[in-house]
Amino acid sequence: MSSQPHFFQRCFCAPNSFFYLAGLYLLLTFFAISCFPPLAAQDFLAPLLALYLLCHWRQVRHIFAESSFFLPTFLLFALSSSLYHASRGSGGFYDLAVFAYMALLYLFFRMLPRGKSLFWQRLGLGMLLILLAAFAIASLALIFPALPGRSLFFFDPHSGSRGLNLLAVRYQFLFSNPNLLGSFYILPLALLQPWLLQKMRACRNLRQVLLLFVAIGLCLLPLISTASKHALMSLAILGGTMLEAWPKQGKWLQIPVVCAIILFASICLLTVLWPIFPISKQFPYLNFRHQGNYTIHQEIYLKMLAADKGSWLSGLGSKGIRQRYPQFADQEKITMIMEQYHSPHWVEPFCTYMDPHNEYLNLASLFGIPAMLCCFAFWLWQLRGKRPVLLLFIPAVLVCCLWDDLLSKRWLWITLAIISTRTILKTEENSQYWQSNP
């Protein structure tokens, strides 16, 4: 028995154990290998990540304390709601398991140690270059059908009828849809962020700045081809890196960067609230007479929560949501809205069951409003670092949560952990510098 603690200590407390586990997990996540849906290849490493955390339980406790215990409080609320709904037959434990897994990923990658930063930067750069190379190969396959690679694109046969020919073909790489790739881009950018920061600071003239941004733009061509609104988060990381690299520019740089992000966020939100396409030939050109298709199920979720005030505390449960959803679906209204999109094939699914496409409503309906508030309080608490990247990235995430159930994406929590860890390490370095140089 005495050899077992020694074995675990040797395996999970060794200096390189984190790099092996983290590196393998990130690579498997990048290649999106589906094994037993919804499980992917990287998910089978979860027990090893949990054992690593168990061997470093003091650090885990410290990380919980750093966020005023909002994360464990959220999980406790989610657990109590899941137990309640399981006892009533209105829910289960799957959604709790998903968010417990997200917390596990955050805690694990928050332990990013000092040193070997070059490894993470090369990993991030390698991901971006592979995405770009695959995009080039897939684009050639569109021109020359005999070549392989067409499957790396998503083909929507209904986009043409909606006046969205440009969205009929969207890049998705190995992911199941373009929006997943659109949100994934934050991870390689977060890994590469110190290198980008270094290169931006090394620019000595306008020509060097332009060359750097041309190179960045080239690497982000696949992201543009996803036509995903989640690109807002990547834009926020790049904007925060610029502000951090050139702090002396002050408001001359802050104003255009922040305005560009707000403008893009507003355009994205506009496409959610109203049926923007097809564009009308007459003023005001946009269809403001009808609400957007995402707002159909968002409205239904709001009605379900409003109809049962007890659900504000504990949510409705996953099964309860599916049972009640059709009762609040107005088929006539849904049919009229989907006619604006020339998408009659979506009427039946919209009347039967759809995800809310809104993380606030998703958490509130699953676990209750207290759990939802604790989850977002945890995210907002990360702003205390006041680092430009975090100050732009977290609001971008919160805005994207208005049109997607976003917080079940593994790479979102990993990215938050990486950026937060680097912020804390930077703060500690600055503190040590001023203590040694009073």
Task: Decide: helix, strand or coil at residue 14.
Answer: coil
Residue linked to tokens 């215990």: 69
What one-letter code names the amino acid at 326? P
Query: Identity (one letter) of the amino acid at 297?
Result: H
The DSSP output letter for 327 is G
Q: Which residues contact 148 (CB under 8 A, 6 or more apart)?
A: 137, 141
- Residue 242 · residue 200 · CB < 8 Å: yes
pLDDT at 8: 53
Q: What are phi and psi of 154, to 5 degrees?
A: -100, 130
Listed residue (401, 409, 396) closest to 372, CA to CA: 401
- What span, in angstroms and rounded, lies between the C-alpha atoms of 196 and 98? 33
Express each pLDDT in 334-382 by its tens digit: 999 998 888 888 899 999 999 999 999 999 999 999 999 999 999 999 9
Distances in whole angstroms, Cα of residue 355 to Cα of each of 162, 277, 434? 22, 22, 50
Show the low-confidence residues of the chain (pLDDT under 50).
1-4, 430, 433-434
Angle among Cα 263, 269, 272 to the nearest 5 degrees reads 150
Beta bridge partners of 155: 169
Longest dimension (CA), the chain: 80
pLDDT at 218: 96
d(CA 289, CA 395): 29
Compute the distance between CA of residue 253 and CA of residue 294 in angstroms, rounded to an integer: 35
Look at residue 284 in the predicted model and tell me its pLDDT: 66
Domain boundaries, the chain: 3-109
Rounded distance between C-alpha atoms, residue 90 and residue 421, angstroms: 39
What is the structure's pLDDT at 39? Answer: 92
Report residue 170: phi and psi, to 5°.
-130, 140
CA atoms of 104 and 427, how far apart (whole Å)? 24
Q: Are 276 and 295 contacting, i.e. CB atoms less than 8 angstroms apart?
A: no
Tokens of 37: 């849906």
- Which residues, in sequence order, are CB contacts of 101 under 8 Å at separation 6+? 43, 46, 410
With beta carbons less than 8 A apart as the criterion, state whether 316 and 324 touch.
yes
Q: b/e per residue, 167-199, with b = 16+ CB within 10 A?
A: bebbbbbebeebbbbbbbbbbbbbbbbbbbbeb
Nearest alpha-carbon partner for 359 in 310, 433, 413: 413
